Each structure stands twice: as structure tokens, then as C-alpha cells.
Amino acid sequence: MTTSSGPVPSPASRGSASPPAPAPIVITGTGTDVGKTVATAALAAHGLSEGLDVGICKPIQTGLGPGEPGDAHEAARLSGARRVLEVRRLPDPLAPETAARVAGLPQSTLPELIDPIRAWLRAPGGSVPDSAPDSAATCGPARGRLDLVEGAGGVLVRLGAGLTVLDLARSLDAPVVVVARAGLGTLSDTELTVRAIEAAGLRCAGVVIGSWSADPDLAERCNLEDLPRVTGVPVLGRVPAGAGALSQAEFGRRAPGWFVPDLLDVLRSGDRRAHYGEKSTVLGSPACQAAG
């Protein structure tokens, strides 16, 4: 387990006066390589722009050796978030359950993953970093906190024997954000993912498009309008294609503009008003119509 948040203080040193931290946000995808890590970084950068203390957690990282920067650290590098936690790492680029089996290692259990995450969530936050956008209250006490937990692959990818991202989210009492593709086929993939989340008794806070072209085709434009209708949850934002290549400063400056203005309220309250159907034009959506 790696963390950049330092040792977890004892309950006594934390005191009893601090209010409980808000529930984290669990980030999943409709599949692999849909842009979860960059979307996580964008959400983190948005939180920093609002003056929040932001943390990023990756319960299980696969496909990397010791010392290589994982997804959580990449999201922190892009966003400027300071608190980072990676609970477990497996060497092969496979689903975590398969990666553990291939490596001859024990399967992850829910307590082994959730207990370090809960301890990390209980640890005191910090201040807004110097690298936060100018709109944030830099170098001062944070105005709250935002903790992001990035899953592996899709929502039903096995993290251990019979263990999925849904189990993590349920244990954390956390809403779930779905990162989806923009193009043809995403309507079914995204609706299936949202249905799985809601069937598990969890709240899907909304959808983020993980890679949005500067010149979207007809299917992408129509999908942006249709996703709220078929899934019943709002499209919260669109991350531009290639955003992961931006510098931290430029990424942090641009990221707030990739989301709906009241993003944090929607994430925390579940208010879905004004985000359905044509209301997604709050994101500047081009029209869903064929060229004349």
C-alpha cells in the first residue's frame, strides 16, 4: 500500500470535534480505456478550483511494477491533488482477480481494501496546494474535502473473488460516477452500467464523457443528448480528447469548464434537475442533426 498522505493519526489525536468527512465519490467506467484516470484528475482539479482538499484513491492497481507511477499518482500529477492512496498493486495488466491468480497471490478481500480506505478518509485533510487554479483559495485552509476512489475497468470487474466496485461503493456509502465513451455503442454500455449500479441500491450521480473530440461526429453529438434520456442520470461533463497531455497548470485552469456549473451540488445532493435532454446544452452541446 502506498500513500502520500502520511501516517494515519490515532483517534485520540484526531479529537472528537471534527465533523465527519463527506462520502467519497466512486468513479467507474463502462469498460477499460474509457478515460477514467483523466476524468478522475479533472474532477480533482475542479474540486481544487473550488478550494477543496482533494484526495485520490486507487484500491487496486494492475499492470505496473514497484516504483512505477500508477493511475492515482497520474491523476494527482495532472490535477495537483496532494493526498493519494494506492492500496494494492499486482504486476500483470489483467482484471485484479485474474492478476492475483496468475501471480500466485491471495485474492483481495473487502476488509483488506476497505479498511485502509476508511483510515485514509478519516485522516485530517490539508490546505489547497500552490498549484491550484487562481480561482481557488491557494495556500490556505481548505473549505471542505473531496475524495475520489477510482475503480478498475467496468463496474462488474472482479477486484477479488466475488468482489466488485459495487461492493466498495456500498461499503463506503458512496455515490458512483460513470465514465463513458462518446461514440457509437455508448448508449447501451452506459445504460447497462447505470442499471447495475442502481440495482445494487446505489446512487449513480451521473456520467462523464472520458474523451470528447474537438470535432464530434453525428453519433457523438446525438449520444450527448440521448445519454440522460436513456440512463435517467445527468451528463456531468466532457473531458476533451488529449487532455492528459496538458501541463498541470493548464489542466487545472481548463478542467472546471469541462463540467456543469453546479457539479459538486449534483454529486453530493443527487439533484438531477436541469440536466436532462436538451438541458445538456449547458455543456455547449452541438446540435444532434445531420449535415444539410
Residue ranges for the known binding site are 33-38, 62, 71, 150-153, 210-211, 240-242
Distance CA 188, CA 180 (A): 11
Give the SS3 label for residue 79. Answer: helix
CB atoms within 10 A of CB 19: 6
Handedness of CA 242, 245, 246, 251 (dihedral sign): positive
Quickly tell me which residue has 483510515 as its cell: 119
Distance CA 142, CA 138 (A): 9
Question: What is the DSSP-derived secondary structure letter of residue 22?
Answer: P
Give the ranges where the chain is alpha helix by DSSP (H).
Answer: 11-14, 36-49, 71-79, 96-102, 110-122, 165-172, 186-199, 218-231, 248-254, 263-269
Task: Cite the annotated binding site for ATP by residue number.
Answer: 33-38, 71, 150-153, 210-211, 240-242
Question: What is the DSSP-derived secondary structure letter of residue 151?
Answer: E
Task: Cite the annotated binding site for substrate by residue number.
Answer: 62
Q: Which residues are catalytic?
A: 58
Distance CA 81, CA 79 (A): 6
Distance CA 62, CA 102 (A): 12
Alpha carbon distance, N-terminus to C-terminus of the chain? 56
C-alpha separations of 84 from 118, 127, 183, 190, 287 in Å: 13, 14, 32, 28, 39
Handedness of CA 41, 163, 174, 230 (dihedral sign): positive
- Bridge partner list, 62: 90
Residue 269: exposed, middle, or buried by beta-carbon count in 10 A (0-12, 13-18, 19+)?
Answer: exposed
